[in-house]
């Protein structure tokens, strides 16, 4: 109770003595950078006593130089009441609460908080200063600030002075109230364009507003960046085109691969490809794939190939009923697009243009083939036509076919031709007393069979045949109806049976027989003529041709065989013909037709003689050899190669014969008169005998 009372007393006395001590200036909170100077002001009025400063309640001392605190001192004009506290250099331990106190007056200033700021150090980027990344693959860049920076610094990323977004902040605590490090992570997906780019990580705070920077350079590994070009880009079909594939890559390119329409082009390995353009290049682009150690890239391009029309879809045949609409469609591909026209087969009139032809309310006359045509392109290639048939379904069309006339009571055949689409349900023959669709009935039989090719657009064709066995008079006067029906209606025609008389046939047969007889008589006459001429030439002489080298003596005659009348005896001519060949050994030993009465033998001879004027047997001119009055003989050697006058002669055993191959003649007994005198250079016969005249005995012909 004593102290309060003293204070009250002192206050009362001061009020009576004058003004009391007071603060003219009190210290405020202060922020100072580490290492800088800090000043805390304090001014007192009406006080000349002891002044001291406290730090966090601890008195620093009453002296002005504050011994024991080397970096602390009190400055100012004490007489005027100025007592400022200075700290230099400011350290982290200086951060505290400070008061200015007038101890003798019992005054204390308000507390002033000194905040010491520590500027951040330059940050560190992990992996820097050159950071290697792969283009297209997401990556994280880490920027880290270490030290006791106060306040905690802010880490920012910049590129070309522009702040980058997409960062995350991370702080590591060392102990309570302090931080060990601060990290900032930048997430990015680099591209090939980022190769060589510079990124900056900046650490800034209140202690260092401008911040401190650390720069890094990006080194990008990236797959090839490809550009593909074609020269020329627009080309006619059949021309050459060159493709060029260029690429930039890090690391360098290791290979090229070419493809067309997704299929590899075999043998293409380098950056250039040469091809011959065709229509497929318009829809199947060419691609170039370039690869390196990081990856690969692909680029493709399509050519503007100009080509002629190519048929893609043919028009389909159609079958419609009468009165309905019909339409055809076809598709042509070309560059530029081809002009498509429609015509009827065999007609140049254009019915329409474009891929579709429409025919409203068709009739039977519209049936037939329709042509979809495309003109050739600029190159002159391509183009063409495609046909499709329109079948108009209508009632059957029945036509009578020609039927041959028939004999009374003989067989007959009637025919009709049926065109129908759809195919007829039945073809029926009818007459006065009945009808028949198929099979037989009495004298009638019906057969129906298809025709290989029907009429254009009329559908398949049928031929129906009505067979009649044993025709009657009524069959030639009545009419036979051939009719057919389908779901659209019925059609028919009448067929009549023609009659054939017997008399003209008899006349024809008689004429043919007469002509045949006449021809036969002519042939017989010609044969007799040839035979007569052959006999006239040789009947009065016996010519014997001996085959050289024969040893059987068949060419000789005995005296009993050669006796006869001197009038019938002709010359016996023995000649040497090397071109005559003996058919068989016994050909000369033929039977005597008189059974030995006249002792004659049949002779079969072949000799090629010429035909003289008038059709007679040609004989060579008489030889001038011999004495006058001697019988004439003939030299046949120059005429051995002549064609025989009549085909009735044929080769036998080498003897001159009469026209018939087996002829018999009379023989005369020869009288030797000696060999003739031969002219110079006249080829002699091997031997010759000249018979003397004799009386005829008997002559027999076979």
Give the residue from 306, 325, 349 where a domain finishes: 306
Q: Left if phi > 0, otherwise alpha if psi is -120 to 50, otherwise beta: which for 20? A: beta
Residue recorded with tokens 């002549």? 642
- Distance between first and last Cα of the chain: 209
Same domain, yes or no, for 243 and 280?
yes
- Show the tokens assigned to 281: 């290049």
Q: Has residue 508 got a pLDDT over 50?
A: yes
Min mean pLDDT across 283-297, 395-409, 469-483, 648-662 is at 648-662
Q: Would the pTM of this model clear 0.85, i.e. be above it? A: no
CATH (domain of 80): 2.60.40.10
Same domain, yes or no, for 236 and 279?
yes
User: What pLDDT, in 10s, does the model give residues 257-273?
Assistant: 999 999 999 888 899 99
Model confidence band, residue 536 (pLDDT cutoffs 50, 70, 90): low
Same domain, yes or no, for 409 and 421?
yes
Model confidence band, residue 603 (pLDDT cutoffs 50, 70, 90): very low
Phi, then psi, of 680 in degrees rounded to 5: -60, 145
Give the whole-angstrom CA distance, residue 152 versus residue 208.
11
DSSP secondary structure letter of residue 177? T
Return the number of other C-beta atoms located less than 10 Å from residue 3's C-beta: 7
Residue 446 belongs to domain spanning:
402-496
Give the residue from 117, 141, 163 where a domain finishes: 117
Of the ranges 289-303, 611-625, 661-675, 683-697, the best mean pLDDT one: 289-303
Return the number of other C-beta atoms located less than 10 Å from residue 652's C-beta: 22
Min mean pLDDT across 27-36, 353-362, 557-566 is at 557-566
User: What pLDDT, in 10s, does the model give residues 384-397?
Assistant: 899 999 999 888 88
HSE of 254 in the Cβ direction (CA atoms, 13 Å)? 10
- Asked, for residue 293, whether it belongs to a domain, the answer is yes
| pLDDT confidence of residue 238 | 87
- Asked, for residue 645, whether it belongs to a domain, the answer is no
User: Is the CB of residue 317 less than 8 Å from the CB of residue 368?
Assistant: no
Q: Has residue 600 got a pLDDT over 50?
A: no
E strands, 122-177, where? 124-125, 130-134, 139-146, 154-159, 162-163, 167-175
Domain count, the chain: 5
Same domain, yes or no, for 86 and 140?
no
User: What pLDDT, in 10s, does the model give residues 623-641?
Assistant: 444 444 444 444 444 444 4
Model confidence band, residue 175 (pLDDT cutoffs 50, 70, 90): low
Greater pLDDT, 369 or 604:
369
- Show the tokens assigned to 548: 């050289």
| pLDDT confidence of residue 94 | 92
- Asked, for residue 585, whether it belongs to a domain, the answer is no
Cis peptide before 232, with omega less than 30 degrees from 0?
yes
Give the whole-angstrom CA distance, residue 424 versus residue 462.
9
Min mean pLDDT across 10-24, 117-131, 560-574 is at 560-574
Same domain, yes or no, for 448 and 385?
no
User: Is the CB of residue 107 less than 8 Å from the CB of residue 22?
Assistant: yes
Exposed, middle or buried: residue 648 (CB in 10 Å: 0-12, 13-18, 19+)?
Answer: middle
> Is residue 416 classed as helix, strand or coil in its secondary structure?
strand
Same domain, yes or no, for 61 and 98?
yes
Give the whole-angstrom CA distance, residue 207 versus residue 121.
11
| pLDDT confidence of residue 146 | 78
| pLDDT confidence of residue 53 | 93
Q: Has residue 291 got a pLDDT over 90?
A: yes
Averaged over 550-565, what is the pLDDT?
38
Q: Has residue 8 got a pLDDT over 70?
A: no
- Asked, for residue 153, whether it belongs to a domain, the answer is yes
- Show the tokens assigned to 196: 């060589």
> Is residue 122 classed as helix, strand or coil in its secondary structure?
coil
Give the whole-angstrom CA distance, residue 608 versus residue 611.
10
- Asked, for residue 582, whether it belongs to a domain, the answer is no
Spatial CA neighbour of 400 closest among 427, 433, 426, 363: 427
- Asked, for residue 544, whether it belongs to a domain, the answer is no
Same domain, yes or no, for 107 and 131?
no
- Asked, for residue 627, whether it belongs to a domain, the answer is no
Give the whole-angstrom CA distance, residue 371 versus residue 389.
9
- Asked, for residue 696, whether it belongs to a domain, the answer is no
Same domain, yes or no, for 128 and 215?
yes
Give the whole-angstrom CA distance, residue 418 versus residue 426.
10
Residues found in the chain: 702
Min mean pLDDT across 276-285, 450-459, 663-672 is at 663-672
Same domain, yes or no, for 35 and 48?
yes
List, in sequence order, the alpha helices (H) in 369-496.
Answer: 473-477
Same domain, yes or no, for 214 and 155?
yes
Same domain, yes or no, for 420 and 492?
yes
Same domain, yes or no, for 421 and 362?
no
User: What pLDDT, in 10s, does the model give residues 472-486?
Assistant: 888 888 889 999 999
Q: Left if phi > 0, otherwise alpha if psi is -120 to 50, otherwise beta: which for 644? A: beta
User: What pLDDT, in 10s, does the model give residues 655-678?
Assistant: 344 444 443 333 334 444 444 444
């Amino acid at each position: 109770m004593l102290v309060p009372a003293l204070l009250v007393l002192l206050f009362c006395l001061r009020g009576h003595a004058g003004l009391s001590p007071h603060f003219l200036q009190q210290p405020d909170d202060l922020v100072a950078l580490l290492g800088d100077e800090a000043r805390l002001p304090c001014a007192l009025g009406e006080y000349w006593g002891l002044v001291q400063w406290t730090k966090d309640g601890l008195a620093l001392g009453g002296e002005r130089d504050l011994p024991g605190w080397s970096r602390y001192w009190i400055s100012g004009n004490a007489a005027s009441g100025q007592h400022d506290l200075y700290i230099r250099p400011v350290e982290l331990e200086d951060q505290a609460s400070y008061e200015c106190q007038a101890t003798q007056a019992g005054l204390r200033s308000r507390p002033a908080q000194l905040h010491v700021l520590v500027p951040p150090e330059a940050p560190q980027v992990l992996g820097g200063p050159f950071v290697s990344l792969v283009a297209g693959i997401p990556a994280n860049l880490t920027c880290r600030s270490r030290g006791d920076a106060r306040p905690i610094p802010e880490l920012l990323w910049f590129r070309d002075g522009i702040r980058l977004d997409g960062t995350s902040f991370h702080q590591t605590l060392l102990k309570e109230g302090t931080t060990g490090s601060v990290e900032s992570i930048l997430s990015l997906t680099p591209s090939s364009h980022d190769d060589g780019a510079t990124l900056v990580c900046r650490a800034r705070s209140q202690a260092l507003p401008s911040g401190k920077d650390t720069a890094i350079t990006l080194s990008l590994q990236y797959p090839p960046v490809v550009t593909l070009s074609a020269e020329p880009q627009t080309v006619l079909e059949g021309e050459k085109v060159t493709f060029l594939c260029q690429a930039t890559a890090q690391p360098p390119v290791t290979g090229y691969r070419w493809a067309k329409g997704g299929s590899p082009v075999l043998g293409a390995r380098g950056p250039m490809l040469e091809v011959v353009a065709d229509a497929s290049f318009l829809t199947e682009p060419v691609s170039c794939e370039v690869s390196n150690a990081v990856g690969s890239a692909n680029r493709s391009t399509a050519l503007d190939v100009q080509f002629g029309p190519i048929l893609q879809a043919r028009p389909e045949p159609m079958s419609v009923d009468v009165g309905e609409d019909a339409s055809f469609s076809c598709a042509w591909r070309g560059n530029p697009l081809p002009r498509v026209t429609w015509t009827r087969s065999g007609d140049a009139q254009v019915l329409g243009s474009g891929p579709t032809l429409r025919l409203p309310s068709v009739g039977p006359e519209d049936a037939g083939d329709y042509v979809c045509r495309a003109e050739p392109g600029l190159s002159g290639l391509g183009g063409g036509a495609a046909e499709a048939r329109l079948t108009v379904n209508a009632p059957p069309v029945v036509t009578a076919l020609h039927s041959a006339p028939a004999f009374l009571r003989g067989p007959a055949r009637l025919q009709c031709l049926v065109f129908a689409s759809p195919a007829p349900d039945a073809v029926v023959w009818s007459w006065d007393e009945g009808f028949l669709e198929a099979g037989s009935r009495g004298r009638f039989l019906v057969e129906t069979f298809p025709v290989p090719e029907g009429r254009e657009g009329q559908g398949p064709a049928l031929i129906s045949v009505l067979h009649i066995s044993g025709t009657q008079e009524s069959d030639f006067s009545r009419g036979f109806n051939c009719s057919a029906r389908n779901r659209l209606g019925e059609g028919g025609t009448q067929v009549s049976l023609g009659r054939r008389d017997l008399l003209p046939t008899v006349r024809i047969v008689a004429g043919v027989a007469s002509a045949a007889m006449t021809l036969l008589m002519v042939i017989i006459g010609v044969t007799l003529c040839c035979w007569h001429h052959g006999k006239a030439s040789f009947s009065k002489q016996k010519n014997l041709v001996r085959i050289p080298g024969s040893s059987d003596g068949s060419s000789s005659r005995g005296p009993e065989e050669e006796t006869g009348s001197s009038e019938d005896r002709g010359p016996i001519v023995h000649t040497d013909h090397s071109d005559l060949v003996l058919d068989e050994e016994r050909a000369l030993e033929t039977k005597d037709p008189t059974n030995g009465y006249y002792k004659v033998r049949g002779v079969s001879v072949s000799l090629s003689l010429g035909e003289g004027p008038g059709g007679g047997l040609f004989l060579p001119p008489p030889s001038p050899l011999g004495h006058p009055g001697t019988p004439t003989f003939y030299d046949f050697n120059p005429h051995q190669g002549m064609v025989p006058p009549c085909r009735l002669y044929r080769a036998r055993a080498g003897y001159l014969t009469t026209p018939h191959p087996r002829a018999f003649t009379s023989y005369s007994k020869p009288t030797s008169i000696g060999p003739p005198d031969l002219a110079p250079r006249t080829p002699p016969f091997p031997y010759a005998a000249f018979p003397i005249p004799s009386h005829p005995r008997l002559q027999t012909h076979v």
